[in-house]
Amino acid sequence: MSSARPEESSEATILVRGETIPDQAAPPKEAQAKEPTDKDSQSKGKDDSPSKGRDAPPAKEVSAAKVKMQSRLPVLGDDQDVGVAKDHVVTRDGKADLAFTGTLLASAAPSSAPQGTWQEYRVYETTGGKHVFSKVNRSVFAEDEDTHEAETFDPTPASMPSQLLRSARDLTRSKPLTWTDAAVDFFGYDPLAKALYRKIGGQFEEHIN
């Protein structure tokens, strides 16, 4: 007579120190992988993030003297010379500098230069009745050279440039070319030029009836 066999359990068991515990399935491969620690996360975050300032251009060196000039705008170093007869030397790039005795009629500069660059306009009158127009482009950066432009206006017919300008202007205008016309040809009508003209007087305004 055979005895009844006990119902086999479908759950496999392992004997450990006399205790029976369920045989747990092996954890998935993902679970077996090392869990990232806070230190690992922080390290990864540092590696993935771009280096700050890696692509930033190096700061440009500035000139202390130019920075001082910039801080005084719109005041210029020769403002005290306006209306005073004295010897002047006006620098020109690529041409001979202009040396003369005369008067600085007016100068103009912007009230500020947030980008570190600005222009300076000046008008002189020589003792011989000529006019000199000067335009200077300045920069506070040491590697940037200032640039200088200057032109003269001679009202006498003996001056060839004056004759050429007068002939060209007479084709389109009835009035003769004056030094104010020459100033407009040189400076134009940008805001700084208009500020310069206002300091000289009302002859630059267009009067209509």
Query: Residue 185 in contact with residue 193, Cβ under 8 Å?
Result: no
Query: Residue 131 in contact with residue 96, Cβ under 8 Å?
Result: no
List, in sequence order, every residue forming a beta bridge with 135; answer none if it has no partner.
121, 149
The structure tokens listed for 133 are 């127009």
From residue 201, how far is each of 103, 106, 188, 196, 205 by CA, in Å?
Answer: 15, 10, 16, 9, 9
Give pTM, 2 decimals: 0.66
Q: Where are the domains of the chain?
A: 64-204
pLDDT tens, per residue, the chain with 209 residues: 444 454 444 444 444 444 444 554 455 555 444 555 555 555 555 555 555 556 666 788 999 999 999 999 999 999 999 999 999 999 999 999 999 999 999 999 999 999 999 999 999 999 999 999 999 999 999 999 999 999 999 987 655 565 566 565 555 555 558 999 999 999 999 999 999 999 998 889 888 88
